[in-house]
Structure 1
Amino acid sequence: MTQFLRALPLAPRPAPARLAGARLRWRQLWFPSLPTGVFSLLLAAALLVAGWHFLQWAVLHAHWRGTSSEACVGSDGACWAFVLARWKTWIVGPYPDAQLWRPWVGFALFAGFWAWAVRRPASASPGPVLWGFVLLPCLLLLLLAGGGPLPAVPATQWGGLLLTLAATLVTFVTALPLGLLLALGRRSRLPVLRWLCAGFVEGMRSVPLLAVLFVAATLLPMFLPPGWNLDLFTRALVAFALFNAAMAAEVFRGGLQTVGAGQLEAAATVGLGDFATLRLVVLPQAVRAVVPALVNILIAIVKETTLLSVIGLSDLLGAIENGAKSPEWSGEANILTSGQVFLALVYLAVCYGLSRYSRRLETHDGHPAR
């Protein structure tokens, strides 16, 4: 047997070179077979035709200057004059002009925080980012709402992208702890607590968000004690928080199930109590496992905020629709279409950025993004 064994290990060899060139790889990707190649050609032709028509509408025949609908006669080109004339209202809404520095500082703080979160090393702990998502909304609310040395600005004077950002962050920071408590309640040893948490989660997940918003807007004031007066924006935030807490509860429940029973037994062996085991052993692993899923919940919240316009709040979608209905811009349907394309591009940029960050977290955790 020893004559078949090598006495010395093999010397390291370079990695095999890729023999296939770029042209061959491109051909294998798009034309692996005749039916797939025909479908690729048809799809490419359709994309070229659609892209050419969009280029004509968005750039070549577009209207860029003007202060009223008279600048955008016809529907052969986009009305970017509408976007350029109304962008400030779409960003901050009817916020008082004398206090506009506060929303601009808020946007700068959020942009700085997001740039810091994205540029952090992939191996860094996600804990500081989660704490940032908790503390930043509190700071923004204090800055925007005012009080003390700052003049108070009610939520009725917020609007546009400012209202969308505030609703997204406040919903995210309130839904996460509620969802975690619900997930822990579903694992409780107390049957009543377990049934109540499970009933709330399953019931809320079975109802459309729009129905929950209508209940918060119309029925919730009837059940409040005398003297309590919650504005519409606060009631909408309550509805968003409860609905997304049920979604987050299922995410956290999946993360809690990734911690094996052996680790719980080991924690009990070294003398850790239930609370210490939860804080030191279970939660660090469970939260880290579900961070990409929590980013997906944040993306869903961003898109859900468009429902605020249905109950009468002027978020970014509502501000664009109200601008198209104003006397100076009412007229061609192409004006509203241009505003909606601008809205789609804003949401595409925000959601795509969050999606790329989520894929980065998934790749770092050992699960290759697909």
Structure 2
Amino acid sequence: METFVRPALIDPRAPPVDSASVPARWRRAWLAGPATSVFSLLLLAAGLVAGWHLVQWGIVDAHWRGSSSQACPDSGACWAFVIARWKPWLVGDYPLDQLWRAWACFAAFALFWTWVVRRAHGASMQRVLLGFIALPLAFFLLLAGGGPLPAVAPTRWGGLLLTLVATLATFATALPLGLVLALGRRSRLPVVRWLSAAFVESMRSVPLLALLFIAATLLPMFLPRGANIDLFTRALAAFALFNAAMAAEVFRGGLQAIGRGQLEAATTVGLSDFAALRLIVLPQAVTAVVPALVNIMIAVIKETTLLSVIGVNDLLGAVENGAKSPDWVGDSNILTSGHVFLALVYLAVCYSLSRFSRRLEARR
């Protein structure tokens, strides 16, 4: 036995490092063989041609100044449309004398997100998730007003502000409901387990757009007489239910990743089922699925563009309504410029969230 067992631990060693230079690694990745080299060169040529046309359209021939469609007479990008419509695209029809409330929401979210990204490596994610739940409630109270603040109906919100509130509100309501559904699918009570499974599977089987149409047209018919729930709130309810079903499957995967031995050990030391769930299972399960929850947030951000289909003035709706205004009715290139700008905004937001998700995966 002594012949095969080492009496001392092996000293830790650093992971192997690729000593090849950056040009060598690029050559190895793109010019590994004749077929790979030809394909890489074709891709490079196509990228250069497409990039030059994009630069020519978006910079060289672009129009930057003007207050109407007359400022964009030819096929160059009409960035004047983007600059002139900045207020509806940011805050919709929010009152000018109350814009400080919208700016306060943007600043608070920027500070919160900076703290999330720069927090300590080993910090718990519980405070982050709690912040994502508390932040939309604070935003809604500040933006809606009441009491000492003038009331502003959600119908006057719009643009990026409404998209931000819709995303955070959906995330804040879908996560707790999804966790409850995931726990319900693991319940010992058959009725709870079957009802949770039926809800999750039915929501996952119906397109979100169909749910939005139901919330916009059919739901008011089933409300009590005199009940008046605005369209934005009904749309948020549809978003919350749909994404709760998606979050439930994510949480269920995290719960299944916790070994049964840990629950048996918790029972051995005298913990109740609820205490074991709160102290042992949930902290590990939630931490394990945080990257997947970030992916759900990315999906929610892109799903908010469907709000414009039912008449809610989100960022996409603000862009399309601006192109239909009397001052900007004209060539289709005006709306194309707005869509390109919108695509760049969504690309920047979703790409930053994707990088943050990969960073969380690397920490695990």
Q: What is the TM-score of this pair, normalised by structure 2? A: 0.95
Report the CA distance shift for 1:11/1:341 in structure 2 as closer, same or farther (over 3 A): closer
Decide whether aligned partners of structure 1 residues 246 and 10 sit closer, same or farther in structure 2, where only a CA change above 3 A counts.
closer
1:361 corresponds to which letter in structure 2? L
Aligned counterpart, 2:254? 255
Greater than 6 Å deviation, 4+ residue runs: 8-17
Tell me which residue corresponds to 2:319.
320
Task: Tell me if the contact between 1:160 and 1:319 (Cα under 8 Å) persists in the aligned partners.
Answer: yes
Residue identity in the other structure for 1:177: P
Unaligned runs of 5+ in 1: 3-7, 366-370
How far is 1:222 from its partner?
1.2
User: Would you say the 8 A contact 1:67–1:82 is kept in 2?
Assistant: yes
- For structure 2, the residue ranges without an aligned partner over 5 or more in a row are 3-7
Q: Distance in 2 between matches of 1:358 and 1:302?
A: 15
CA contact (8 A) 1:122 1:360 kept: no
Encode CA deviations 1:89-134: one digit per residue, 9 max, x unaligned. 1000000111111001110000111111111123221111111111
> Equivalents in 2 of 1:290, 1:13: separation in Å?
30
The CA deviation string for residues 46-103 of structure 1, in whole angstroms up to 9 with x for no partner, is: 000000000000000000111000010121x100000010011100000011111100
- Give the Å deviation of 1:10: 11
| Deviation, structure 1 residue 9 | 12
Shift of 1:211: 0.2
* Residues 104-183 of structure 1 mapped to structure 2, 5 A cutoff: 104-183=103-182
Q: Following superposition of structure 1 onto structure 2, how do residues 21-36 of structure 1 map, counting pairs within 5 Å?
A: 21-36=21-36
The separation in 2 between residues aligned to 1:81 and 1:179, in whole angstroms, is: 44
Equivalent residue number for residue 44 of structure 1? 44
Alignment of 1:256-335 (within 5 A): 256-335=255-334
Question: Which letter maps to 1:256?
Answer: L
Amino acid at match of 2:171: F
Residues 272 and 31 from structure 1, CA distance in 2 versus in 1: closer, same or farther, beyond 3 angstroms? same
CA–CA distance in 1 between the matches of 2:142 and 2:348?
26
Rounded to whole Å, the distance in 1 between the matches of 2:12 and 2:57 is 59
Superposition pairs for residues 178-257 of structure 1, below 5 Å? Answer: 178-257=177-256
Structure 1 residues 244 and 15 mapped into 2: Cα distance closer, same or farther (>3 Å)? closer
CA distance in 1, matches of 2:165, 2:191: 35
Q: Which amino acid aligns with 2:198?
A: G
CA distance in structure 2 between the partners assigned to 1:347 and 1:297 by the alignment: 15
Structure 2 vs 1, CA of residues 281 and 21 (structure 1 numbering), >3 Å: closer, same or farther? closer
Q: Distance in 1 between matches of 2:282 and 2:109?
A: 27
Code of the residue aligned with 1:129 in structure 2: it is V
**Alpha carbons of structure 1 residues 89 and 13: separation in structure 2 relative to 1, 3 Å:** closer
In the alignment of these two chains, the number of paired residues is 359
Q: Deviations over 1:31-52 (max 9, x none)?
A: 1111011000000000000000
Alpha-carbon offset, residue 23 of structure 1? 3.0
Root-mean-square deviation over aligned CA pairs: 2.1
Equivalent residues of 1:122, 1:361 under 8 A apart: no
The Cα of 1:21 is off from its aligned counterpart by: 3.4
C-alpha contact 1:168 1:301 (8 A) present in aligned 2: yes
How far 1:15 moved relative to its partner? 9.1
Distance, in Å, in 2 between the alignment partners of 1:58 and 1:88 is: 22
AA at the equivalent of 2:239 = F
Q: Identify if the C-alpha distance between structure 1 residues 312 and 264 changes in structure 2 by more than 3 Å, giving closer, same or farther.
A: same
Instruction: Find the counterpart in structure 2 of residue 94 from structure 1.
Output: 93
Amino acid at match of 1:281: I
Check the 8 A contact 1:69/1:330 in 2, yes or no.
yes
> Among the aligned pairs, what percent are the same residue?
72
Whether contact under 8 Å (1:160, 1:315) holds in the other structure is yes
